[in-house]
A and B are shown apart, each in its own frame.
Chain A
């Protein structure tokens, strides 16, 4: 990859929903560029004819029988949430209208 632009770094930050301070952008730009260059090295592997691999396990998925097992108490569920309202987990409103 030739160059990673400031705009691209900001776009990645947006997708990750992270707010970056102006002075951090250049720092992350350099780090991200190094990361991408490292990953790009995979492209250099010659004669790569292995079948498309998605998992380190060679056998196929074992399917699970459709039966209901143990579930969590809702108190357990909302315990890890910063805010809740009755049985619901509460978050800042998500839709902009």
Chain B
């Protein structure tokens, strides 16, 4: 018997990081008190006219470029007609015939190589209002109505929950690093709908849509659940209907929402209130040349500088850390030490005090000094930990902090004097050492470190002690 093959296509909506909405100048500030960021355009009052936000076009173009799409240089908007309370005009302005980008792809890592997930299209549209459903009533917040979105539609190239999650992680990384969207799935600035079907033959099975899944992990769970559900129905000779289901994160299952209106029922037609938009070759080139450094390029630089793969991934997952580290790429400092500090003690400090790195007293010069001092072993990590709070909270240089905290560099002569003194005062241990008890040296080392208050480099001390003991 043939195995069932799962086929998945994914639609992602990502909110664009603009100040104002796409067709009106009210604030793109979702999260404010309900219905305080709207105007007559967002609410679809009679006679109002949309005006297109140039930043929204630029960000959508960036997204289309990083998704390797062919750009529709002459594009327009279309009206998608449907009656639903989340949509005050009774149509949504979207792009149907001329999406900004078509025929792109995203590459994901799979067992044994790379796989291209083809992008059917990326189009620009306005968000609908946010609805919160109670038992008997739905509550509407129009702050979200008119926030610019891109919708990114894949071909049905995804064949497992794992591939779906990898695609979404990659897509999120691309949009985040291109500064297109915040991509916060849990806050709704990135939303995923999956079309799942199963089939034993080359012909695709009945497509079932799962809407608004709240995290990448849940996309995986939803696809696995839906695959099993569909196979079970087919095995029991039941027919599948095209329908929309909702993922329920309490039960990790999918629940029927509604039987879908089909494409024709939306009666798309060109939006006559917005004339054509033409993107010149020069404009497209400028946007492409001004893209921020993407994650892939950052990865290469970090690996080249000796940062290990696990840490590289951790840095990439935290855009703030990555941006901070990038300031020092050409400053000739040890980036391994720099990244260890940022991912370790400094990250812990920022988490503990819930503070952003730019709001601390850690200046670029202080960061460079501290990395260089650790690199040359002028200070060790123990000293660094001790003075970390001072570094983050005080307007003093690293030298000033070290001096103030009683850490001063001991020169070789001073160190030799201290060692000689300790050896003189611990004759028994010296004798033990000469009698072959090598552990005695540990006690001597401890005494020396105590005398130097930890200011000496243990490696130097060890070498000197061994040399002096052999005399």
Q: A60-B276, A66-B20, A88-B132 are in contact. Are A74 and B36 (CB under 8 A)?
A: yes
Which residues of chain B are within 8 angstroms of A63 by Cβ–Cβ distance? 51-54, 57, 277
Stretch at the interface among A19-27, A31-39, A42-50, A51-59: A51-59
Tell me how far the C-beta of B82 lies from the nearest C-beta in chain A, rounded to whole angstroms: 8
Is residue B394 within 8 Å, beta carbon to beta carbon, of the partner chain? Answer: no
Q: Tell me the B residues contacting A by CB distance below 8 Å.
A: 18-20, 24-27, 33-40, 43, 51-57, 76, 81-86, 131-142, 246, 255-258, 261, 265, 267, 270-278
Q: Mind listing 30 A-B residue pairs with CB under 8 Å? A: A15-B81, A15-B265, A55-B274, A59-B275, A60-B275, A60-B277, A60-B278, A61-B274, A62-B51, A63-B57, A63-B277, A66-B20, A68-B26, A69-B24, A71-B36, A71-B38, A72-B39, A72-B43, A74-B36, A77-B43, A87-B35, A88-B35, A88-B132, A89-B142, A90-B137, A93-B135, A93-B136, A94-B131, A95-B246, A96-B257
**Interface contact B20-A67, CB-CB below 8 Å:** yes
Contact among B54, B76, B81, B255 for A54, CB-based, below 8 A: B76
> By the criterion CB–CB under 8 Å, are B140 and A91 in contact?
yes
In angstroms, Cα B140 to Cα A71, docked, is 17
- Residues from chain B with Cβ under 8 Å of A68 in the complex: 19-20, 25-27
Interface of B, secondary structure class, is: loop
- Please measure, in the bound complex, the distance between the C-alpha atom of A26 and the C-alpha atom of B379, giving whole angstroms: 91
Instruction: List the 3 closest A-B pairs by CB distance, nearest first.
Output: A69-B25, A66-B55, A63-B54
Give Cα A77 to B57, complex, Å.
Answer: 28
List 10 other contacts, CB 8 Å, given A54-B275, A87-B36, A93-B136. A15-B83, A54-B271, A55-B273, A60-B278, A71-B38, A91-B137, A91-B138, A92-B136, A94-B85, A95-B257
A3, CB-defined interface residue at 8 Å = no
Q: Report yes or no: A61 in contact with B133, Cβ–Cβ below 8 A.
A: no
Q: Do the beta carbons of B137 and A92 come within 8 Å of each other?
A: yes
A34 to B203, CA, bound (A): 41
CB distance from A5 to the nearest CB of B (A): 16
Which residues does chain B contribute within 8 Å of A91, judged by CB atoms?
85, 137-138, 140
Alpha-carbon separation in the docked complex, A76 to B312 (Å): 51
A66 — nearest CB in chain B belongs to which residue? B55
Counting CB contacts under 8 A, is A78 at the interface?
yes
Q: How far is the CB of B464 from chain A (nearest CB, A)?
A: 65
Query: Could you tell me the distance in whole angstroms from the C-beta of A24 to the nearest C-beta in chain B?
Result: 19
Closest to B274 in A: A61
Size bin of chain A's contact surface: 35 or more
**Cα distance A60–B38 when bound, in Å?**
27
Q: Which of chain B's residues has its CB closest to A88's CB?
A: B139
Contacts A54-B76, A74-B35, A88-B34 given: A94-B84 contact, CB under 8 Å?
yes
Across the interface, A55 reaches (CB within 8 A) one of B38, B55, B86, B275, namely B275
A41 in the interface (beta carbon within 8 A) = no
**Chain B min CB distance to A55 (Å):** 4
Residues of B within 8 A of A93 (CB): 133-138
Of the candidates B20, B24, B56, B275, which one forms a contact with A61 in the assembled complex, judged by CB atoms under 8 Å apart?
B275
Q: A71-B27, A87-B33, A92-B138 are in contact. Are A97 and B38 (CB under 8 A)?
A: no
Residue of B nearest to A81 (CB): B140
**CB atoms of A67 and B19 under 8 A apart:** yes
Report the minimum CB–CB distance from A87 to chain B (whole Å): 4
A91 to B141, CA, bound (A): 11
A80→B43 CA distance, assembly (Å): 10
Report whether B52 and A64 are in contact in the complex, using a CB–CB cutoff of 8 Å.
Answer: yes
Is B40 in contact with A72, judged by CB distance below 8 angstroms? yes
- B51 near A64 (CB under 8 angstroms)? yes
Nearest chain A residue, comparing its CB with the CB of B248: A97
Residues of B within 8 A of A15 (CB): 81-83, 261, 265, 267
